Structure 1
């Protein structure tokens, strides 16, 4: 011990790797000891103390680039720097907690991309007997609506929540989904569009869109991407939606034109 420790012994005593000690040397955090007569660097108690200080601060989350100045600071500066490090660590903890919660939501499928209210609506659709294919399209539509038209998303959820308590709305929605297998020119589409529009007009939840949304130059494009999602896979559904929108516009309901 009188001649000091080798780098391997010093690293083992402090609880780090030789690679870490050398990294500290490269960064100037710990001075390299002089070599002895045999050509080995020998670490004394002062070197070990410095290594312990650096390791402890690094383990507490202090960036390596700041450790040197911190160790050389006076007590007041030291305390202020630690407060700043503590604040940054708290921010990182909050960020990591949010990421953990996102991973937890991913374990629960819909909750990763949708708020609880929207997930409850999807669960309600399941209970009402809607098919898995319909649920998949509605799930995608809700995700798009939340991202593309956030100004009206809460109103949209309120409309759905109230509409699903109406047996006529539920039945018309199921018929509309079944219509995807109809021919585009099937005369039943016109009658169904009239029934759907009439039902929507009787619902108090059918509220005008916020003025701010109408003023957006891309309002029509955003609305169209949501309301006409997957229409390319069902020409009859596309025609049905077009007819319903036209009937609603005819009585003064403002719906953006694509």
Structure 2
């Protein structure tokens, strides 16, 4: 009968590394075997079996700190411990699956920051003739609205969807976005502001509102960040927005 095997042989038979065996010893998962006359540890079947058991549970994703109590449990207690391990693994699988889905959506850029309903709106924009630059600003705007106005985001999306169903509204919005490249003193801005104001007065439901800000202590700051997004790169927008608001207020429309 053999006097036992070396640590290297035990590791190989158990399908782990010598370093892992030493970790199991250090953490108390596997008792250190006796040493032979030369001072080397000699592993018998009991130690080898324990190494295989520890390796199997560790490979199944059980944390090392939990392996000892599981192996030391008996009967119903052992079965209960394994059930708990299975529940934990199922939860981890669900979390990892969700992370993988997020990584896949990252391939589409900032779309990972938006829900499917918002992405569906963005998907409709090329069909209406909006440019790639328009879509980039729209995507950024939606991300900001969701971050700064989470409570009213769904209502805001509903307003956009409503507007996209109105051909005249879409045409005017496209013209408004084109005006962003105009100079701030372009005379066309005054005419467009008047047309937009009359359009909203004729159908107030098409006027986008940020109602989700009304209960925020810093509503003014959030409102300014949202309404002035993109104006630095589009000089015509700031004056156009100001004129539209001025005309609407003059007509009795309440605006934030």
TM-score by shorter chain over 0.5: yes
Does the residue aligned with 1:231 lie in a helix, a strand or coil?
A: coil
Q: CA deviation at 1:248?
A: 3.5
Task: Return 190-199 or 75-84, whichever deviates more.
Answer: 75-84
1:40-93 per-position Cα deviation (integer Å, ceiling 9, x unaligned): 211000011111111111122221012122222232332332232222222211
Equivalence map 1:56-75=2 (5 Å): 56-75=56-75
Do the aligned partners of residues 219 and 16 (structure 1) sit closer, same or farther apart at CA in structure 2, a change above 3 Å counting? same
Does the residue aligned with 2:205 lie in a helix, a strand or coil?
A: coil
1:235: which partner in 2? Answer: 235
2:55: which partner in 1? Answer: 55
Q: CA deviation at 1:28?
A: 0.9
2:79: which partner in 1? Answer: 79
Task: Return 180-189 or 92-101, whichever deviates more.
Answer: 180-189
Is the 8 Å Cα contact of residues 5 and 42 (structure 2) preserved in structure 1? yes
Equivalence map 1:68-147=2 (5 Å): 68-147=68-147
Q: CA deviation at 1:222?
A: 1.7
Is the 8 Å Cα contact of residues 231 and 237 (structure 1) preserved in structure 2? yes
TM-score when normalising by structure 1:
0.90
Do the aligned partners of residues 250 and 155 (structure 1) sit closer, same or farther apart at CA in structure 2, a change above 3 Å counting? farther
Is the 8 Å Cα contact of residues 152 and 210 (structure 2) preserved in structure 1? yes
How many pairs were matched up? 255
1:115-160 per-position Cα deviation (integer Å, ceiling 9, x unaligned): 2222222222111111111111111101111121122221221222
TM-score when normalising by structure 2:
0.90
Q: 2:208 and 2:113 mapped to 1: Cα distance?
A: 25
Q: 1:88 and 1:249 mapped to 2: Cα distance?
A: 58
Do the aligned partners of residues 58 and 253 (structure 1) sit closer, same or farther apart at CA in structure 2, a change above 3 Å counting? farther
Task: Return 242-251 or 223-232, whichever deviates more.
Answer: 242-251
Is the 8 Å Cα contact of residues 179 and 236 (structure 1) preserved in structure 2? yes
Q: 1:3 and 1:99 mapped to 2: Cα distance?
A: 50
Q: CA deviation at 1:2?
A: 0.9
Is 1:195 matched up with 2:191? Answer: no
Is the 8 Å Cα contact of residues 213 and 223 (structure 2) preserved in structure 1? no
CA RMSD of aligned residues (A): 2.1
2:176: which partner in 1? Answer: 176
Q: 2:49 and 2:115 mapped to 1: Cα distance?
A: 52
Q: 2:96 and 2:103 mapped to 1: Cα distance?
A: 10
Question: Hey, which bits of structure 1, 4+ residues long, moved more than 6 A?
Answer: none
Task: Identify unmatched segments of 5+ residues in structure 2.
Answer: none
Q: 1:160 and 1:36 mapped to 2: Cα distance?
A: 80
2:21: which partner in 1? Answer: 21
Is 1:246 matched up with 2:250? Answer: no
